[in-house]
Amino acid sequence: EAGVAQSPRYKIIEKRQSVAFWCNPISGHATLYWYQQILGQGPKLLIQFQNNGVVDDSQLPKDRFSAERLKGVDSTLKIQPAKLEDSAVYLCASSYSGGGNTGELFFGEGSRLTVL
Amino acid sequence: GDSVTQMEGPVTLSEEAFLTINCTYTATGYPSLFWYVQYPGEGLQLLLKATKADDKGSNKGFEATYRKETTSFHLEKGSVQVSDSAVYFCALKARSTGNQFYFGTGTSLTVIP
């Protein structure tokens, strides 16, 4: 079974530039999450999708971050314009929505962003 | 709100030493509890989980028991190896908030030969 795919693995940009990250979840996983992981911290949820609908985006900085999952499969997270404090690893995860609340998250390898 | 508090690191142990990483949680209702591990340069991987009180999760020699009375899910291993060096995250999945996951800050473990 293929895992969660993310690209690019690494990105270096200047502040005020834009960047986009892509994620393809495990086939059949209806729920998709984007997390931000700053060095030395735990993952922080940015947005959660159920199919192509947003379940929670309360911690997404909407003035600069946007995310979409138009066909309920793959997803794109965009940052425009980037700030220095956006330097982090952006993790995509997916989970199977059946089985109540016991299903675990499956993570991609992450996209490491450095903003100079 | 729901949250996880995890023992701060870093932790350095000699090979074959006993490991405990403490984790306590605050949650409304009955969450599922997880330990994830992150090896250098990799994404998070599920290490073990427990879905109800008194359940014990185990994998690769690691164990953790879901203790509702103490709201804890401490990670233990009897004899660590160099290959266990990684960052360990405690997490809960909350039924009360749309199955959101809440992660601890992570505990870095280094095992020296």
Question: Residue B66: CB partners within 8 Å, gap ≥ 6?
Answer: B33, B50, B51, B52, B53, B54, B55, B56, B57, B73
A97 Rama sector, left if φ>0, alpha if ψ -120 to 50, beta otherwise: alpha
Given CB atoms, is B3 within the 8 Å cutoff of chain A? no
pLDDT in tens, A49-95: 998 899 889 999 999 999 999 888 999 999 999 999 999 999 999 99
Pairing state of beta strands B44-50 and B32-38? antiparallel
The token duo for A53 is 């609908």
Assess whether pLDDT exceeds 70 at residue A101: no
The b-or-e profile of A6-36 (16+ CB within 10 A means b, else e) is beeeebebeeeeebebebbbbeebbbbbbbb
Do A109 and B43 make contact, defined as CB atoms within 8 angstroms? yes
DSSP, collapsed to helix, strand or coil, labels residue A36 as strand
Return the pLDDT at A45.
92
CA of B97: which chain A residue's CA is closest? A56
For residues B104 and B26, the answer to whether their CB atoms sit within 8 Å is: no
Least confident of A83-87, B38-42, B46-50, B74-78: B38-42
Do A102 and B32 make contact, defined as CB atoms within 8 angstroms? yes
Pairing state of beta strands B75-77 and B62-65? antiparallel
CA of B29: which chain A residue's CA is closest? A101
Return the pLDDT at A100.
55
pLDDT band (50, 70, 90) for residue B10: very high
Return the pLDDT at A70.
82
pLDDT in tens, A106-116: 999 999 999 99
Segments of chain A assigned E as strands: 5-7, 10-13, 19-24, 31-37, 44-50, 53-56, 65-68, 75-79, 88-95, 106-107, 111-115
Given CB atoms, is B101 within the 8 Å cutoff of chain A? yes
Q: What is the pLDDT of chain B when averaged over all its residues?
A: 93
Assess whether pLDDT exceeds 70 at residue A98: no
Chain B nearest-CA distance from A110, in A, is 6
Q: Which of residues 9-68 of A touch B (CB under 8 A)?
A: 31, 33, 40-45, 48, 55-56
Spell out which residues of chain A touch residue B40, defining contact as CB-CB under 8 Å. none
Return the pLDDT at A66.
97
Chain B nearest-CA distance from A18, in A, is 24
